[in-house]
Amino acid sequence: MKNPLLKIFDTAPFSEITSDHFLPAIKNGISIAKKEVDAIVNNPEPPSFSNTIEALDYSSELLDRVTSVFFNLNSAETNEDIQKIAQEASPLLSEFSNDISLNLDLFKRIEVVYKKRETLSLTPEQSKLLEKRYKSFSRNGASLPNEEKEKLRKLDTELSTLSLKFGENVLAETNKFEMLLTNEADLSGLPEGAKEAAKALAESKNKKGWLITLDYPSYIPFVTYANNRELRKKLTLAFGAKGFNNDDLDNQDIVLKIVNLRHQRARLLGYSSHANYVLEERMAETPDNVFSFLNEILEKAKPAAEREFKQLESFAKELDGIDKLQKWDGVYYTEKLKQKLFDLDDEKLKPYFKLENVIDGVFTIASRLFGLQFEETNDVDKYHEEVKTYHVTDAKGNYVSLFYADFHPRPGKRNGAWMTSYKSQMKKNDKNIRPHVSIVCNFTKPTPSKPSLLTFNEVTTLFHEFGHALHGMLADTMYPGLSGTSVSWDFVELPSQVLENWCYQKEALELFAKHYETNEVIPMELIEKIKESATFMEGMKTLRQLSFGLLDMSWHAQDPSSITNVKEHEEKTFATTTLYPSIDKNCMSTAFSHIFQGGYSAGYYSYKWAEVLDADAFEYFKENGIFNKEIATKFKEHVLSKGGTENPMVLYKRFRGQEPKPEALLKRAGLIK
């Protein structure tokens, strides 16, 4: 079998790949990587930085390319075959990862280099790579006795399989639910675009009527605008019950198994909890620091959130006689109140946010800040016809990156939005190998009468993911292990969150917010209303975000073995942040993919942590002009291009000239004057 994944390829050869190619390519990649590692271990020369640390970081290149293609497809364009292969491949990859991290002979060579590091005249980047590599071995059991190494292998294999199963269950639950409406009166309140999309979705499945699903572009407009309270309730309950239906897609046992296995793993490695293990390598350093950070913001946000909730309750009572505000009422009445207070709703804004215009806008902003140019190309292989591809160059015309963008929901695509990469940036053999970066979103599709028009929230999502993409595209490091987004997890959200700030600025909005029919630039009064409404219900939004961070820490900062009921544990944790009445049939943890499938376990707090950084960073831009070239260049040089080559606070201070102050965030959120 001629396997396209085993040839040397630059761009991923999607059109040539069939499911049958993946497993042989992964096995082959593992085999080659093992030989590369054996060559390092058996090198007769004394261990040096180049023959051990550098050689290890440049190894596994084929395996990295193959697995990036495979796992990206498993998220963005999966099917039953790919999911089965993932279940088979994950234990193999987990075993291989353990073969490396538990290899005592390899660790001994690394340790030799590490112990003489002061005498080696290493660059800051080389020092960081050496420290990272040494810690990755010492922290992951390289010096454990053989019996305990075997235990660790079993734990890691089981964890990788459970995490995959968790994600598959959430996706299956999302795809399984459909609410077919045949009476147009049931769509009362829904914007025309959302009705049209629901009709088109029904037609695509040979059904008559309007089809509503749990995909965000279908779910969000319905719970935001539909006047029918019972149907909002039905949809909200279905959304909140993913993985919590006591059936074959139930995730309760999986959650308990994952947190217990993570705890056992941490204990085996000498840490008191999974959070202690994880945070040792983050800016926050300890669970205590995370708790005090979250609780400090909670103290400021809670009074504001309670005031906002009372305001919302009395508004709903006055408008519709609602005595008790429920979760299926929250977004609906928030939107109604926003319309009343600011005369602003997404339906007024959406005509100004045609997807293609927003893409052009984010490209223009990247050009004005960082000198980048984006040219759409059709000569790059894609995994789906909807994917767009761009060649990215700098102001001098030099090639910077290949950029993939995938914007609309499909049955084989998980919900949400994310940035990923198909090829890492690195410098090797005197060549600066440039990255292939991708963003994946789930935005409203075009309909027969309208292009894809984004809600303002979708606009900020696109900017957020594009900020991550810039971190990948502008990477300029020697080693792949430190390149792009390979940074401390609580630093990785800075580039993404800081870019969202441009969505609220007149100078930026006027570049791309143009009416899709008339090309009229968004009126000044709407810009003012966007800015005024930016902190609307910010206390409640902050409380919600903090509740997720606290839930994550409650699972991971203690011994979870005494927790037997997922829902009860969750209720206890949410006690300090709950505003709405609890729903017995709903559970957050069973669909909390960030921490049980993604990489955010003991790290969800980092969104808020990075908000402190981004508010402080953007304050610097605002003081000097949001398109100030000098500050943009400093951000590019000290943050975006540097990846994980130095301590993140050192990089941040080099850009900003000082440590970040939380006041900028609290002021921006309207929580302090």
Q: How many structural domains is the chain composed of?
A: 4
Mind giving me the DSSP string for 87-101?
HHHHHHHHHHHHHHH
Token output for 287? 């669970």
Q: Look at strands 436-440 and 399-406 and give their pairing.
A: parallel
Mean pLDDT of 288-302: 94
Q: Where does the pLDDT of residue 587 fall: very low under 50, low under 70, confident under 90, or very high at 90 and above? A: very high
The SS3 of residue 400 is strand
401-416: buried (b, 16+ CB within 10 Å) or exposed (e) per residue? bbbbbbbbbeebbbbe
Is pLDDT at 44 greater than 70 in this prediction? Answer: yes
In a domain, 607, yes or no: yes
- 673 confidence band (pLDDT: 50, 70, 90): confident
- Whether residues 617 and 671 share a domain: the answer is yes
465 flagged as catalytic: yes
Q: For residue 396, what pLDDT is reported?
A: 96
Question: How does pLDDT run across 134-173, given as a tens digit for each residue?
Answer: 999 999 999 899 999 999 999 999 999 999 999 999 999 9
Instruction: Judge if 458 and 606 occupy the same domain.
Output: no
pLDDT number for residue 113: 98
Question: Which of 520, 552, 567 is the C-terminal boundary of a domain?
Answer: 520
Segment 515-523 shows an average pLDDT of 96
Tell me, what's the pLDDT at 1? Answer: 58
Q: CA-CA distance, 51 to 45, in Å (whole number)?
A: 8
- Mean pLDDT of the residues in the chain: 95
Do 306 and 423 lie in a common domain?
no
- What is the pLDDT, as a whole number, of residue 598? 85
527 part of a folded domain: no
Q: Mean pLDDT across the stretch 405-409?
A: 96
CB 232 within 8 Å of CB 328: yes
DSSP per residue over 586-622, as a string?
--SGGG-HHHHTSS-TTTTTHHHHHHHHHHHHHHHHH
Whether residues 438 and 549 fall in one domain:
no
Rounded distance, CA 449 to CA 200, Å?
Answer: 11
Residue 170 lies in a domain: no
From residue 275, how far is each of 278, 438, 576, 644 by CA, in Å? 5, 30, 21, 21
Residue 253 lies in a domain: no
The span from the CA of 466 to the CA of 487, in Å, is 17
Domain of residue 495, CATH code? 1.10.1370.40
Neighbours of 179 (CB within 10 A): 19
Percent residues over pLDDT 90 in the chain: 93
CB 645 within 8 A of CB 514: no
> What's the pTM?
0.89
pLDDT at position 532 is 87
End position of a domain, from candidates 94, 120, 143: 143
In the prediction, which pLDDT does 118 show? 96
Average of per-residue pLDDT across 334-358: 93
Give domain status of residue 19, yes or no. yes
For residues 497 and 553, membership in a common domain is answered with no
Residues 189 and 297 in one domain: no
Tokens 């261990």 sit on residue: 47
Quick one: pLDDT band at residue 344, thresholds 50, 70, 90? confident
From 111, 465, 570, 619, the catalytic residue: 465
pLDDT higher than threshold 80 for residue 42: yes
> Phi and psi of 33, rounded to 5°?
-60, -40
What pLDDT does 110 receive? 97
Do residue 210 and residue 337 come from a single domain?
Answer: no
Give the domain range for residue 226. 177-240
CATH number at residue 122: 1.20.1050.40
**Residue-level pLDDT at 489:** 83
Q: Of all helices (H) and strands (E), which one includes residue 657?
A: none
Environment class of residue 657 by beta-carbon count within 10 Å: exposed (0-12), middle (13-18) or buried (19+)? exposed
The answer to the question of residue 161 being in a domain is: no
| Same domain (yes/no): 296, 390 | no
Span 650-660, average pLDDT: 94
Domain final residue, candidates 495, 520, 545:
520
The pLDDT tens digits of the residues spanning 231-253 come to: 999 999 999 999 999 999 999 99
- pLDDT mean over 8-35: 96
pLDDT tens, 86-103? 999 999 999 999 999 999
Cβ burial of 353 (10 Å; 0-12, 13-18, 19+) is buried
Q: Given CA atoms 317, 322, 325, 331 in this order, what sign does their dihedral have?
A: negative
Residues 338 and 369 occupy one common structural domain: no
Tokens of 130: 């050496």
| CA 25/CA 23 separation, integer angstroms | 5
Nearest residue to 404 (alpha-carbon basis) of 72, 132, 626, 128 = 72
pLDDT beyond 90 at 669: no
Residue 621 inside a domain? The answer is yes
Q: Which DSSP category does 453 fall into? A: B
Residues 278 and 374 occupy one common structural domain: no
Q: Are 356 and 460 in contact (CB under 8 A)?
A: no
Residue 538, classified by CB atoms within 10 Å of its CB into exposed (0-12), middle (13-18) or buried (19+), is: middle
Q: Indicate the burial class of 195 (C-beta count within 10 angstroms; 0-12, 13-18, 19 or more).
A: middle
Alpha carbon distance, N-terminus to C-terminus of the chain: 67
pLDDT in tens, 624-647: 999 999 999 999 999 999 999 999
pLDDT digits (tens, 9 = 90+) for 265-283: 999 999 999 999 999 999 8
Q: For residue 433, give the nearest of 106, 64, 41 by alpha carbon.
A: 64
The answer to the question of residue 205 being in a domain is: yes
User: Residues 284-322, buried b or exposed e (16+ Cβ, 10 A)?
Assistant: beebeebbebbeebbebbbebbeebbeebbebbeeeeeb
Same domain for 368 and 333? no
Q: What is the CATH number of the domain that holds 606?
A: 1.10.1370.10
Alpha carbons within 13 angstroms on the beta-carbon side of residue 129 total 24
| Same-domain pairing of 554 and 439 | no
- Residues 467 and 607: beta-carbon distance below 8 Å: no
